Amino acid sequence: MQPYELSVAAAAQEIRERRLSPVELVDSVLDRIEQVEPHVAAYVAVFADQARRTARDAEREAAEGSYRGPLHGIPVGLKDLIDVVGVSTTASSRTRAGHRAASDSTVAASLRAAGAILIGKTHTHEFAYGLTTPQTNNAWDHGRVAGGSSGGSAVAVASGAATFALGTDTGGSIRVPATLNGVVGLKPTYGLVPRHGVTSLSWSLDHVGPITRTVDDMALVLTALAGYDPRDPASVAVPGVGYRPRPDPDLTGVRVGVPRNYYFAHVDAEVAAAVRRAIAQLEALGARLIDIDIPMTRYIQATQWGLMVPEATAYHESTLRTVPELYQADVRILLEAGELMGAGDYLRAQRARTLIRDEWARILEEVDVIAAPAVPMTAVPSGQETVTWPDGTVESVSDAYVRLSSPANVTGVPALSVPVGRDTAGMPIGMQLLGRPFAERTLLLVGHAYERTQPARSLAPIA
């Protein structure tokens, strides 16, 4: 096995026990980037020289006994919305040409303190306003979409071009690409991971979270990221907890809610079957399955868009009026649409969110976790704009991908996506686990228990 193939947990053990140096790991990942990047275009920029210098420093620290923890010497890719001092943050947009961050974002500073090594900035759908990341190709089939908006981060992790990565999630932008590329993604509870220094799409819906190869890796990275920062008005001070799940896969006593409505409607048959098999596996591990009804489903997407569109337009007001031609057409149309929404529409969306959140809180008193498909279909061919369901319903690809992920953004609850198989074309399928606010530990426990019953997942091939 090559060093770039190691998970965070495995690489950390090798580095801690002095069988692998950070320099060897970084060199291996950089070599892998040279191999795969022409095929997938995951990165906006790769910082090879800087990464090697930092790796040499990390190796010296380890030799001197100054080991910082499980992220010491581990290469990370950061979505190009996340500020790193002295490095450009382009948001994959021409409107940000020449922009350089004056200071670290909170999450970049946390990873730096933990010893992680920045390997590069990954592509996003422009300003995170989309679900495909058109400049990046799927890790498993380069003729299919990567998913978005954190497509570059997911593809980098899935292809071995980063050991882990960070993304952002406003309507599913971590979980969608993680699912479509066969890796693990987490949208934390709103307020758990600080967003200071991260370019916003919609401040009341934005989250920052990790993309990793395993659930165990997810726990290690989340431990480094979670914390209070007063510079983020939404940040919440949560008592320190250990996120790493216990090694045994016993789920006795865990109540898993299985939706009777919404989450399995207009879902590809292979996706539904794979997720139901995974849910059955949770039951075999001791979980108790409870059928539930998802409330207020007709209002979820309208509420998501009613919040996101005007907030995004407000953020971009100045550049939209001065250099509109620099935006990609799809993003510009959405930003201009936001100017047509009135204050009354936005306030109604806020009221609807409160009602939806209250109803979800009631359901999550009855179950510990909700298990459902992460997205309704696997990665579609690049350029495909619509999907037609068996009953004749036509849905845009973007609406389809966001439909099952947006409830967690509207409510702010944590949501974890875990790979659960492949369709007949070999494309990854994911299960989504949703839980109570700040109950990430429970989600990781359930996801880890399922993962331990499955064969080890391989990285995506180069071609």
pLDDT tens per residue, range 182-218: 999 999 999 999 999 999 999 999 999 999 999 999 9
**What integer pLDDT is reported at residue 225 of this predicted model?**
97
Is the pLDDT at 463 greater than 80? The verdict is no
Mean confidence (pLDDT) of the chain: 96
DSSP states along 429-440: EEEEEEESTT-H
Phi, psi (degrees; rounded to nearest 5) at 237 = -80, 110
- Kindly state the tokens that stand for 214: 């395993």
Cβ atoms within 10 Å, residue 328? 18
Is the pLDDT at 108 greater than 80? The verdict is yes
Residue 119 CA, chain-centre distance (Å), reads 18
In the chain, the amino acid numbered 405 is S
Quick one: DSSP state of residue 95?
A: G
Does 79 participate in catalysis according to the annotation? Answer: yes
Phi, psi (degrees; rounded to nearest 5) at 339 = -70, -15
Q: Which positions ≥6 away from 324 have C-beta within 8 Å?
A: 332, 336
Contact yes or no for 215/452 (Cβ under 8 A): no
CA 213, CA 48: separation in Å to the nearest integer? 22
Does 149 participate in catalysis according to the annotation? Answer: yes
Quick one: DSSP state of residue 325?
A: G
Q: Which positions ≥6 away from 73 have C-beta within 8 Å?
A: 11, 15, 21, 22, 25, 26, 55, 58, 59, 62, 115, 117
Is the pLDDT at 369 greater than 80? The verdict is yes
Cβ atoms within 10 Å, residue 423? 17
- Kindly state the tokens that stand for 389: 């369901």
Active-site residue, selected from the candidate residues 7, 28, 149, 405: 149
Question: In this prediction, what percent of the chain has a pLDDT beyond 90?
Answer: 95
Is the pLDDT at 241 greater than 90? The verdict is no
Residue 258's pLDDT band (cuts 50, 70, 90): very high
Residue-wise pLDDT tens digits, 371-408: 999 999 999 999 999 999 999 999 999 999 999 999 99
Residue-wise pLDDT tens digits, 284-340: 999 999 999 999 999 999 999 999 999 999 999 999 999 999 999 999 999 999 999
Q: What predicted TM-score, i.e. pTM, was given to this entire model?
A: 0.97
Strands 75-79 and 117-122: parallel
Looking from the CA of 66 toward its CB, the CA atoms found within 13 Å total 9
CA 145, CA 181: separation in Å to the nearest integer? 9
Angle at 278 between CA 247 and CA 413, to 5 degrees: 75
Sign, Cα dihedral of 437, 282, 363, 429: positive
Task: Give SS3 for 376.
Answer: coil
Beta bridge partners of 185: 211, 417
Is the pLDDT at 275 greater than 80? The verdict is yes
**What integer pLDDT is reported at residue 247 of this predicted model?**
81
Residue 76's pLDDT band (cuts 50, 70, 90): very high
Q: Is the peptide bond before 406 cis (omega within 30 degrees of 0)?
A: no
The predicted model gives 64-88 an average pLDDT of 96
Q: Burial level of 461, CB count in 10 A (0-12/13-18/19+)?
A: exposed
Cβ atoms within 10 Å, residue 332? 17
The predicted model gives 414-440 an average pLDDT of 98
Cβ atoms within 10 Å, residue 154? 37
Active-site residue, selected from the candidate residues 7, 28, 79, 159: 79
Is the pLDDT at 240 greater than 80? The verdict is no
**What integer pLDDT is reported at residue 244 of this predicted model?**
86
Contact yes or no for 81/202 (Cβ under 8 A): no
CA 279, CA 283: separation in Å to the nearest integer? 6
CA 259, CA 152: separation in Å to the nearest integer? 31
CA 438, CA 455: separation in Å to the nearest integer? 29
**What integer pLDDT is reported at residue 72 of this predicted model?**
98
Residue-wise pLDDT tens digits, 137-183: 999 999 999 999 999 999 999 999 999 999 999 999 999 999 999 99
Q: Which positions ≥6 away from 322 have C-beta within 8 Å?
A: none
**What integer pLDDT is reported at residue 326 of this predicted model?**
94
**What integer pLDDT is reported at residue 26 of this predicted model?**
98
Cβ atoms within 10 Å, residue 257? 22
Residue 23's pLDDT band (cuts 50, 70, 90): very high
Residue 453's pLDDT band (cuts 50, 70, 90): very high
Q: Residue 110 to residues 118, 193, 428: CA-CA distances in angstroms?
A: 12, 10, 31
Residue-wise pLDDT tens digits, 32-66: 999 999 999 999 999 999 999 999 999 999 989 89
The predicted model gives 7-33 an average pLDDT of 97
What is the separation, in whole angstroms, between the first and last Cα of the chain? 19
Active-site residue, selected from the candidate residues 173, 398, 405, 406: 173
Does 121 participate in catalysis according to the annotation? Answer: no
Closest by CA to 360, choosing from 288, 410, 295, is 295
**What integer pLDDT is reported at residue 98 of this predicted model?**
83
CA 312, CA 149: separation in Å to the nearest integer? 14
